[in-house]
Structure 1
């Protein structure tokens, strides 16, 4: 861990990296389980959301064959511009929970390094909501019951278009209704309203922890985000959102960014 921290402390990036680079360290010696021996390989695998440079001398380098060459300023700036992309996902901001319904406010959030000028989102809401006893880590414990969604209210004026629905899920699309609040600026504390929906349940809930599951695909002008979302709702009205995100660009289908875990 000390070797990894030392390596990362010597790296900086433009834009500032959202997640540190992957680092693989190979050590051999008499006792590899205790990481005692000689370091034979340190491999830093870059991510696609930033350009790295040395924190020691402030210079950027590029590997060409067996040589390491310093990058000139114009090449560095061109590389940075190619890395600047919006990273947009959906976040639940407010939730009003009643015994037989829940109202959810959904917002767009951009954690990338460039404004999103065009945004469209398709949501698939699972009509079956598991009810468990408690949340342990990332797992809903004691989920032996499911509550069905009877219908939903898209708000007034509606920001979502109903595309289709069946017994298992309902498919909505946002951003078709103009005018839409774009651009979506890249900032941790700035969000743009996607819309509000009210889910009416087929029966009353008096106990347990609910798990609402939503799958989404969010399109911008340069890339798209595939998002699997689990909103865990407690009886006191509080909730936690678990996300699995994967962002890819259109041209190469290259993975730009990925993230998994609960939002803080």
Structure 2
């Protein structure tokens, strides 16, 4: 009896310490429109199941100018180690690279249970997520400025993380403001960037942690116009963006799927054990 229980444990552990993930490559799942939960295809293209993974992920990128949606379901970490990673990151970005202004909205979901990045999970994610912005109203702040100098920037800090406000204006290439909300009240860091300019941008990022139902919010602007990084502008950016996630709606659906998968695994293990005993 003890030997049988040991075999059950070994078989169950060998199944659960690594997982299988859906693998639907982005290059086969790119669409020339903005896909929503109501218009997402029932079947993604070129999908397979990838085994021996430590975590799975779902990535969706929505783009405008031109409109496009890119979807990828992939596995990560080809190793037999346990992971409890379970979070969702949503990042809204408006950027100007000197050639054109482009808007993107990206979600990245990471999980660590069997086939947890399925197409049905993707639909549950989209139903549970609210992601809105009016960043296009701020495109004028992102105009490239060939005559930029650091005296155009606003400097301020109330952040617990390092925020340098005593910077030689002659070394500045862009103005920047970062705002954070984690477990503390709003923290702000306004100063300048000394690296070469690649693009001016506005971004809002939220990371949702499923295990403890926490969220971390982050806003940022990098720009070159006079006083473009003031607190008033960053407050307006915050007011014009909204990302919310319904943990109850999503996790209740996920729990039901997980329970079904767990039952299937137990049945598989017991059936395997039964066959082994019969053969002996």
Provide TM-score, normalisation by structure 2: 0.25
1 or 2, which has the higher strand percentage? 1
Q: Which has the larger radius of gyration?
A: 2
Q: Which structure shows the higher helix fraction?
A: 2
